[in-house]
Structure 1
Amino acid sequence: GNFSVLAEFLCCNVFLGSVFTSVPAGQYGNPLNKYIHHYEGLSYDTEALHSNHQRAKRAVSHEDKVLQLDFHAHGRHFNLRMKRDTSLFSPDLKVEVSGVEAPYDPSHIYTGEIFGEKGTLTHGSVVDGRFEGFIQTHQGMYYVEPSERYLRDKDVPYHSVIYHEGDIITHYAARNSNPAVPDVSPCLSQSHGHGPVILRKKRAAQIEKNTCQLFIQTDHLFFKYYGTREAVIAQISSHVKAIDSIYQGTDFLGIRNISFMVKRIRINTTSDERDITNPFRFANIGVEKFLELNSEQNHDDYCLAYVFSDRDFDDGVLGLAWVGAPAGSSGGICEKSKLYSDGKKKSLNTGIITVQNYASHVPPKVSHITFAHEVGHNFGSPHDSGTECTPGESKAQEKKEQGNYIMYARATSGDKLNNNKFSICSVRNISQVLEKKRGNCFVESGQPICGNGLVEAGEQCDCGYSDQCKDECCYNANEADGNKCKLKPGKICSPSQGPCCTPTCNFKGSNDTCREESECAEQGMCNGGTAQCPTSEPKANFTACHGETQVCLNGGCSGSICEKYDLEVCTCASIEGTDETELCHVCCQERSKCLLFTCYHYRRLIIGHLSQYDMHLKPPRPCKDWDCPVSSDLTVVCPVSSPTLQ
């Protein structure tokens, strides 16, 4: 079939689940499903939470924007404090529902923490007064979901369920995941993690292109399961937040803070099941074909394009994706649409995931790791292999208990130490692909990043990571969440805040220079009360600058030298037969006259003033209607042939 041709380029890998044995447990003696063997019900006041959500949505003051949710479960109190989170969505996010662009209000998406417990994280949505999402505590992750998602036909006295990641049970089929088509050549040689780790040189403090923009589509079966547009977008948000936390927390051999942002969402509702233009409308589509249908669309505008579904694929497959490579192979991040040998154009920056496995819905934890796993393929990682990168297969109990890493060939429950981490094998492969490809489509995040050397919103200081920070005043970015990018106790300032802070964490005196004199501004001097260098005093307006071709205005070199003599700048004209390079000279005219003949070369007009200068325009000023090449002395020289002259 057509897919066999596509398979020439395919290095995708299936992510397997399996049949599970139910364990009778739970609050009422029944598990939620064969994956979750213990849960508790939640019955807090949904009307009160909905009212608080509406208040936070309209709030102006900082305090009123905080949404509070307090409840008791699993023997502890959960005091959640959350704020609206739009960081996962591009400012120009486009949302389509059944092919029609729809307005989108992300005010129901929240991120926060447990009050008084630094280093915790909560993320989710509030729809109809119910919170759905995850809560990362110091004792592990908890998940909150609507009860009817599991107990659809049961009358229970609670509206939500909460369970711990340790209560997710998994047993696996004893088979390796293989490429979708047999006899597929590998896209890249597999690194098993042998050899030295090469640390890259320290990067200068700058805003890096570190964000992969996503296009997420959901098919009609996914919509049918979750029920509403808001619930579908909440699922997209939770999946992206989960992988964003994993990738941002990974150091890819010096490449850090890799993040994700949703640029476009397309939701296929149940009505699209009958739409002949919907490629995903058929219920019975194999996993390889499903990925191919996604790949046949043009995804050039995105780093990656995924389809989320609720399908029970053969052999327990949870996800499929193309594997990226540093060079010489199609597939993965930033790949553009190309014509392949089967005569079809395809975008191989794609993947798919499903939330169903052997007729049961997988818990969000498993689905989140599936997404991270498939995106890991796109980023260039094959499956983990070798003893160093598959500790879960070790005969040593201590290593075995730590579990396998994200890129292990079979699904993990997510509760082991290594389940949410990339192995050194994956890190090496991914770092090579990021080094080569991220410049092709990644964008600046626009979000504060602790560790980039720039003091941004929410940071007191930023001296970089532990291997970069030479600052005795500031906690580096590898410290705990409550400390990183904060001043150390008793320290007044940090050199990362500005040049007026000493290495001993005190403000410099008022006689210390912090900025050199420029053409249009005086020397900058510290004032003894801040780490930042105060604004320099501007030099007098109309002071000549930029090689005497311009003048200073309000501290910047921006005006024409003509303004110094109460003249207006004009375009030089050349008389036929004369030196056409004169078109690049500065010309001025009297303000009271607009005739062309009043336009004079500056050096001829200002007799007795700087007449010895050959007043060529300086780069990047162009000649009229075309650009002049720049000579070695940085003056501008016009070409001999010219466009029509005035």
Structure 2
Amino acid sequence: MTYTLYFVISLVIQSILGDIDKKLFYYETLSTLEDVKRTKRSTDGIVRNTDRDIKFSAFGRTFDLLLKNNDDILAQGFKASIIKHDGSSSGINVNKNQLFKGRLAGEKDSMVDAHVENGKWTANIYTAQESYHIEPSWRHLPHSRYYSQIIYRASDIKSNFSLPSFKGEKLADGIKVDVDPNDIIYDDKESIKTSNRSKRQISKASTCQIYVVADHLFHQGIGGGLPHTTVNYLINTFQTVDGIFRRTKWEGTTDLTNIGFQIKEIKIHEKATPVKNTQHYNMAKEKAWATRDLLEVFSRERYHDKFCLAHLVTYQKFSGGVLGLAYIASPRQRTVGGICSPAYMKDKIRLKLNTGWSSSKNTNGDRLLTKEAILVTTHELGHNWGSEHDAETDECAPSSLTGKGKFVMYPYAVKGYDENNDKFSPCSRRYVRDVLIAKASNCFTDLNAPYCGNGKIDSGEECDGGRTGKEGNDPCCSKDCKLIGNAVCSNVNYECCVDCQVASTDTVCREAFKGGCTKTAKCSGSLECPPSEYVGNTTQCLEGGECYDGICVSYCELNNAEPCRCENNEKDACHRCCRDQQGKCSKFGNEKLPQGRACYIGSCSADGVCKRNEVDMVQRLFSFIEKLTPNAFVEFMKRNIVATILIFSMIIWVPVSCKISCIVSITLLL
């Protein structure tokens, strides 16, 4: 009886929390990453630089992230706030020193978007061959003292396309709205401008300033109820989305590029908004929203008038597995929907259709991986910029088997493992190009113009000490970005600048990483840190790998295989496993994985056995009860028919059997 009840409770909790092994073929866990060079300080203790050199190992290789503080995703005058249950609001201070962009050491064409919070990193790492994604483990795994983050590759994301006759979560058709031009409302500041725009005019106005709203479900489900966690997640997501847009060449007769987003404002709802005889996008609902209803209610907010676009993020499941919805912009003037949309009246209700929404909960009620959420958001914003769904053609929807996979505007959610998944198709690029030419100059703005104090040396500046310099605390660089006295550089701007002078040739500017394939780098007489030299080929590196041309080739790759996770028994699961050319995953050698390494049912023990993580069952059970609604319970019963039959059988069988047992005992006594 006790075992059966434990089984049922475990099954219920597993259903509610989801299973990361259903999302990923393989992933690894990380504890605190090695922050080799946190900051530069002067003798007076004042921080002079917020650049980071972050090193860690995963997937049989070393990662050396060279990161520079970068808050370009935030518009000038950016603000964030949280709305309380009573409607009052308070500001959220965003530490811009926690936002970074950069690259991998030794990989020129790599890109990294990252932020750090309480020593824990969230990052998206792009190389020529693969993309890697780091996010907090609590979103997908039980708590463990051995790790706090997970890392996975885009190629490890499981595809729903592998299932027969199943296309996965649907990204709802974008909505086109045809209205009577007389119903369109133009404010005094708005005017219809001619579509005869030049490439030069549009490239100056290269930024769509966006307003991001998180409802109470998103704040609890993705942000864990912590305002800074929610804000940082959103900033990192839109920073990566912005990169996808800015790298796109909106080709055609006029080629447009480096056009993207800045976040002007973030608003978070702490609790559900109480309503009386009306609707609000953040109100508590027993039944799921109809997808179009949610978008229309969100579009009633007059506050959206201030922005190029407004986007709602939520954490709820929708019928049909829909993950997002947005209004599509049209290249025709005097139309509503998408970027720069004017307001209009519908049934005496004023609507501003520069809107869209996306959800981070999938069809099964599980959290989306960060990579998946980025692609869903990109898709919906693509609609706002004028893109239709990709047509089923070889040009715009190539096969994953014979080509590079579907593009981001495919009607069904792409997972991110194919090369094309985070790119716009030629069809999309043509759609968006026409809209940008017609409308971008109506509401797009210039990207933050170069200015003294941004930490980057712009034209006309001798140095730039960032905020430290503007506050007069940089001994090398003045408030007006001029070198002070005999200074030849600022420590803020160069790795090989020490005490305002070019560093000596014995100054270490990049540490070697234990188990890595590159040597310590020292300054060479210039201000830039030179590339690290490689260690000798065949030098042993992480977890049985060998170095070749500065790259750690994993143990599995040396054996013409790839890393995988053994799931056949508890002992093999905590050994090194590789997948051979036939697709079979099996144990290679007898070396055990370190204690705390994640395995298929929990984590590895000190004696090399995969054991379930010890979790607070009472706490998790109460968490389930708090989330339980009649609709959720019915959905659970539908998805778990065997458990449902077992539960109701127990409800009937246990009391009846006890009654019979009592009757038999009384009869025997008589």
Range into which the TM-score falls when normalised by the shorter chain:
0.5 to 0.7
The corresponding residue for 1:100 is 89
**Corresponding residue number in structure 1 for 2:366:** 360
Once residues 293 and 416 of structure 2 are traced to their aligned partners in structure 1, the CA distance between those partners, rounded to angstroms, is 28
Structure 1 CA distance for aligned equivalents of residues 39 and 368 of structure 2: 29
Q: Secondary structure at the match of 1:419?
A: helix
Q: Which amino acid aligns with 2:62?
A: H
| Residues 184, 332 of structure 1: alpha-carbon distance in 2 compared, 3 angstrom cutoff | closer
- Superposed displacement of residue 146, structure 1: 1.3
Aligned counterpart, 1:406? 408
Match status 1:300 vs 2:305? yes
Deviations 1:245-279 (A, max 9, x none): 1111112131221020011110111x345577964
1:242 is aligned to 240
Aligned partners of 2:172 and 2:322 also within 8 Å: no
> Quick one: distance in 1 between partners of 2:179 and 2:50?
51
Q: Secondary structure at the match of 1:357?
A: coil
What residue ranges of structure 2 are gaps of 5+ in the alignment?
Answer: 1-17, 181-195, 452-456, 463-670
Q: Given the two structures, how large is their TM-score scaled by the length of structure 2?
A: 0.55
Counterpart of 1:220?
Answer: 216
In the other structure, the counterpart of 2:324 is 319
Superposed displacement of residue 177, structure 1? 6.0
User: How far is 1:67 from its partner?
Assistant: 1.5
The CA distance in 2 between the partners of 1:54 and 1:100, in whole Å, is 37
Shift of the 218–377 alpha-carbon distance from structure 1 to 2, 3 Å rule, reads same
Verify the 8 A CA contact 1:243 1:368 in the aligned structure 2. yes
Q: Matches of 1:458 and 1:367 in 2, distance apart?
A: 41
Match of 1:136 in 2: 126
**CA deviation after TM superposition for structure 1 residue 185, in Å:** 7.7
Displacement after TM superposition at 1:407 (Å): 1.1
Are the counterparts in 1 of residues 135 and 149 from structure 2 also a CA contact under 8 Å?
yes
User: Is the Cα–Cα contact under 8 Å of residues 389 and 404 in structure 1 kept in the other structure?
Assistant: no
Structure 2 equivalent of residue 421 of structure 1: 423
Name 1:433's counterpart in structure 2.
435
Higher-Rg member (1/2): 1
Structure 1 distance, partners of 2:40, 2:362, is 37
Which residue in the other structure is 2:613 paired with? none
**Counterpart for residue 43 of structure 1:** 31
The residue number in structure 2 matching 1:66 is: 51
1:186–1:54 distance in 2 versus 1, CA, 3 Å: farther
Asked if the contact 1:81–1:114 (Cα under 8 Å) also holds between the matched residues in 2, the reply is yes
Match of 1:120 in 2: 110
Give the deviation of 1:117 after TM superposition: 2.1
Q: TM-score, structure 1 length as denominator?
A: 0.57
Give the Cα–Cα distance (whole angstroms) in 2 for the partners of residues 286 and 55 of structure 1.
55
**For the Cα contact (< 8 Å) 2:250–2:256, is it kept in 1?**
yes
> Which residue of 1 is the match for residue 231 of structure 2?
233
Deviation at 1:80, TM superposition (A): 1.4
Aligned position for 1:160: 149
The answer for the alignment partner of 1:287 in structure 2 is 291
C-alpha spacing 1:216/1:457, structure 2 compared with 1 (3 Å):
farther
**CA positional deviation for 1:446:** 2.3
Letter in 1 for 2:157: I
CA separation of 1:362/1:54 partners in 2, compared to 1, >3 Å: closer, same or farther?
farther
For residue 388 of structure 1, report the CA deviation from its aligned partner: 3.9
Residue 386 of structure 1: CA displacement?
4.2
Q: CA 1:456–1:318 in structure 2 vs 1: closer, same or farther (change >3 Å)?
A: same
2:447 aligned with 1:445: yes
* Superposition deviation, residue 459 in structure 1: 12
Decide whether aligned partners of structure 1 residues 31 and 447 sit closer, same or farther in structure 2, where only a CA change above 3 A counts. farther
Is the alpha carbon distance of 1:414 and 1:315 closer, same or farther for their aligned partners in structure 2, counting shifts above 3 Å? same
Over 3 Å counting, the alpha-carbon distance change for 1:33 and 1:307 in structure 2 is farther
Question: How far apart are residue 107 of structure 1 and its match?
Answer: 2.3
Task: Work out the CA distance in 2 between the residues paired with 1:59 and 1:215.
Answer: 38
User: Any idea what SS the aligned residue of 2:402 has?
Assistant: helix
Alpha carbons of structure 1 residues 441 and 243: separation in structure 2 relative to 1, 3 Å: same
AA of the residue aligned to 2:38: N
Distance 1:205 1:441 in 2: 13
> 1:89, CA displacement in angstroms?
0.5
CA contact (8 A) 1:218 1:307 kept: yes
RMSD: 3.5
Higher RCO (C-alpha under 8 Å, 6+ residues apart): 2
Q: Which structure 2 residues correspond to residues 251-290 of structure 1 after superposition, within 5 A?
A: 251-253=249-251, 254-269=255-270, 271-272=271-272, 274=274, 279-283=281-285, 284-290=288-294
TM-superposed deviation, 1:155: 3.4
C-alpha displacement of 1:241:
1.5
Q: Deviations over 1:585-631 (max 9, x none)?
A: xxxxxxxxxxxxxxxxxxxxxxxxxxxxxxxxxxxxxxxxxxxxxxx
> Deviation at 1:161?
0.9
Higher helix share: 2
Distance (Å, rounded) in 1 between the aligned partners of 2:155 and 2:292: 32
What CA distance in whole angstroms lies between the structure 2 residues aligned with 1:458 and 1:67? 27
Paired position in structure 2 for 1:380: 386
Q: Structure 1: which 5+ runs fail to align?
A: 1-29, 188-199, 450-454, 461-646
Aligned 8 A contact 2:203 2:256 in 1 = no
**For 1:211-240, what per-residue CA distance to the aligned partner results, in whole angstroms no more than 9, with x for missing partners?**
000000001111102121221112211221
129 and 275 in structure 1: CA distance in 2 versus 1, 3 angstrom threshold = farther
- Secondary structure of the 2:108 match is coil
